[in-house]
Structure 1
Amino acid sequence: MATGTVTLTQDRSRTAPRLTPDVVPGVHWLEHAFTNCYLLADGDAWTLVDAAFPKTWGPLVAAAHSVGLRMRDLEGIVLTHGHFDHVGCAARAVEELGVPVFVHAADRRLAAHPYRYRREHTPFVYPLLYPKSLRPVVGMVKAGALRVKGVEKVSELPESGTLDLPGRPEVVFTPGHTLGHCGLLLRDRETLLSGDALVTLDPYKGIPGAQIVAGAATADSGRALASLDVIAATGARVLLPGHGDPWRDGAGAAAASARAIGRS
């Protein structure tokens, strides 16, 4: 599937940009370098959830065009948190389109400085402990992970409530991975965009399964595990994570799996 100079694939490499239209109705899943973005469509208008990497911009433009959306109709970017692999091309959207960016107050500074984050362990030992993490790390670097520009001007997300944005996502406060991490619940579709509060592929280990992210990138694993109760309480049937495939066996089962795996 090609648009302009950017090719969107349907393969499973996870490194090349891959578009899955309507992963749930009205939600289009764009995966790039083992990291997920979601386009929430409401007629012509749409919301972007997370912004991956600088080189995700071209695939994002191509993905929007492919599903009948226009960049000028992008009404807002919601960041589940402020890490570099989710801030990615948000600054470019602000500069070129004047799009507002939303992030929780506790992650406001992180969104502006996306490499200055709290973590429990150094990430540099993880490729030695988990060789399968090498492919995600290399893919992210190629996608521009070392050259992310932070976003200074943001609007603050509340800890709860429905956002006046296309898709009408409800904020679900799930701190731990970062202190201001938030998921987004699409109640009418029984779907939770869980960000990195619960993933199905941990890029720091390269291991699939419903889990919290390793301490290499998590501020407080204890709080992350506690936030699993919040995720389970949403009753969502589908989880769309920040990394990995959709989980379609319910939020309760995903949370139970993540608790069983625990911290790392």
Structure 2
Amino acid sequence: MTRAITLTPERRSGTPRLTPDVVPGVHRLEHAFTNCYLLAQGDAWTLVDAAFPNTWGPLIRAAHELNLRMRDLQGIVLTHGHFDHVGVAARAVEELGVPVFVHADDRKLAAHPYRYRREHTPFVYPLLYPRAFAPALSMVRAGALRVRGVEAVSELPGAGLLDLPGRPEVVFTPGHTFGHCGLLLRDRETLLSGDAIVTLDPYKGIRGAQIVAGAATADSAQALASLDAIAATGARVLLPGHGEPWLDGVESAVASARAVGRS
């Protein structure tokens, strides 16, 4: 893996950080404990997930660092419609005319990213898990409380290749939200898992492959069942929506998530 590049002089947890070529042509932008991925194909590129409103500046700087131009952004694919994945989408539509893609079952959520079904109230989690304070504070600083929804979207299919740079293949993984999708880069044996599996649960501050706590998951039983679809990809690398890349294959990530279970 290549070196990470800090995109701001600030020295605090949650600082935007770019890791070029996590796998060839896939660049990770981490901001406030949340990941976006830039899929480059020549001069053109796709953005997977859109983090927070304050991610706009780091995204521009990341594109410049990678010799990509914002005008060559061909589309934004949202793995799901939660506020921490929708952040810059509406601005990209307005300023760049970029199409945004989300599964039909998350279309309303993308437009109203705070109105999501969850199994438990999120407010008790910082009391139960003190390590959740750092992610929560970083997300607030990144604009988590003022995310605008995006209504001008195109619907993702439940499966199949997308005609976008990187040639991502949709893998339907409902449970975290009812329209959650991962993206498989088959030629690079890499799965962008969104929040179907993470390696950091921001609601608990706990690292390791797992599904997200019921504070943000609509149906944990369905999320655990969707691990079968993740395992079936046979991907060698898993790139989550939160946390570090998992390089030991999706089968071991799935085994870990099943062992952790629901919370």
Q: Identify the TM-score tier after normalising by the shorter chain.
A: over 0.9
For 1:149 and 1:128, how far apart are their aligned partners in 2?
Answer: 28
For 1:82 and 1:11, how far apart are their aligned partners in 2?
Answer: 29
Aligned to 2:225: 226
Asked whether the equivalents of residues 11 and 18 of structure 1 are also in contact (C-alpha less than 8 Å), the reply is no
With the length of structure 1 as denominator, give the TM-score of the two structures: 0.96
Q: Give the 3 Å change call, closer, same or farther, for CA 12–250 of structure 1 in structure 2.
A: farther
Deviation, structure 1 residue 98: 0.3
Deviation, structure 1 residue 11: 10
For 1:10 and 1:49, how far apart are their aligned partners in 2?
Answer: 25
Q: Give the 3 Å change call, closer, same or farther, for CA 178–248 of structure 1 in structure 2.
A: same
For 1:9 and 1:253, how far apart are their aligned partners in 2?
Answer: 34
2:244 aligned with 1:242: no
Asked whether the equivalents of residues 50 and 87 of structure 1 are also in contact (C-alpha less than 8 Å), the reply is yes
Q: Give the 3 Å change call, closer, same or farther, for CA 192–10 of structure 1 in structure 2.
A: farther
Matched position secondary structure for 2:145: coil
Q: Give the 3 Å change call, closer, same or farther, for CA 190–36 of structure 1 in structure 2.
A: same
Aligned to 1:146: 145
For 1:256 and 1:10, how far apart are their aligned partners in 2?
Answer: 38
Deviation, structure 1 residue 180: 0.1
For 1:230 and 1:243, how far apart are their aligned partners in 2?
Answer: 19
Asked whether the equivalents of residues 77 and 100 of structure 1 are also in contact (C-alpha less than 8 Å), the reply is yes
Asked whether the equivalents of residues 10 and 18 of structure 1 are also in contact (C-alpha less than 8 Å), the reply is no
Asked whether the equivalents of residues 200 and 243 of structure 2 are also in contact (C-alpha less than 8 Å), the reply is yes
For 1:20 and 1:224, how far apart are their aligned partners in 2?
Answer: 28
The CA RMSD over aligned residues, in Å, is 1.5
Mapping of 1:49-68 within 5 angstroms?
A: 49-68=48-67
Please tell me the residue identity of whatever aligns with 2:93.
V
Deviation, structure 1 residue 12: 9.6
Counting matched residue pairs gives: 259
Aligned to 1:4: none
Aligned to 1:34: 33
Matched position secondary structure for 1:151: coil
1:223-244: per-residue Cα shift (whole Å, max 9, x none)? 0000011101100000000000
Matched position secondary structure for 2:144: coil
Asked whether the equivalents of residues 8 and 17 of structure 1 are also in contact (C-alpha less than 8 Å), the reply is yes
2:210 aligned with 1:211: yes
With the length of structure 2 as denominator, give the TM-score of the two structures: 0.96
1:61-111: per-residue Cα shift (whole Å, max 9, x none)? 000000010000000000000000000011000000000000000000000
For 2:238 and 2:163, how far apart are their aligned partners in 1?
Answer: 22
For 2:9 and 2:188, how far apart are their aligned partners in 1?
Answer: 24
2:80 aligned with 1:81: yes
Deviation, structure 1 residue 9: 5.8
Runs of 4+ in structure 1 off by over 3 angstroms are: 9-14
Matched position secondary structure for 2:208: strand
Matched position secondary structure for 1:136: helix
Aligned to 2:19: 20
Please tell me the residue identity of whatever aligns with 1:146.
L
Structure 1 unaligned blocks of 5 or more: 1-6
For 1:58 and 1:17, how far apart are their aligned partners in 2?
Answer: 10
Mapping of 1:99-138 within 5 angstroms?
A: 99-138=98-137
Q: Give the 3 Å change call, closer, same or farther, for CA 10–263 of structure 1 in structure 2.
A: farther
Structure 2 unaligned blocks of 5 or more: 1-5
Deviation, structure 1 residue 47: 0.1
Aligned to 2:176: 177
Please tell me the residue identity of whatever aligns with 2:133.
L
Asked whether the equivalents of residues 9 and 19 of structure 1 are also in contact (C-alpha less than 8 Å), the reply is no
Asked whether the equivalents of residues 198 and 243 of structure 2 are also in contact (C-alpha less than 8 Å), the reply is yes
Please tell me the residue identity of whatever aligns with 1:82.
G
For 1:13 and 1:192, how far apart are their aligned partners in 2?
Answer: 29
Matched position secondary structure for 2:231: helix
2:89 aligned with 1:93: no
Please tell me the residue identity of whatever aligns with 2:151.
E
Matched position secondary structure for 2:262: coil
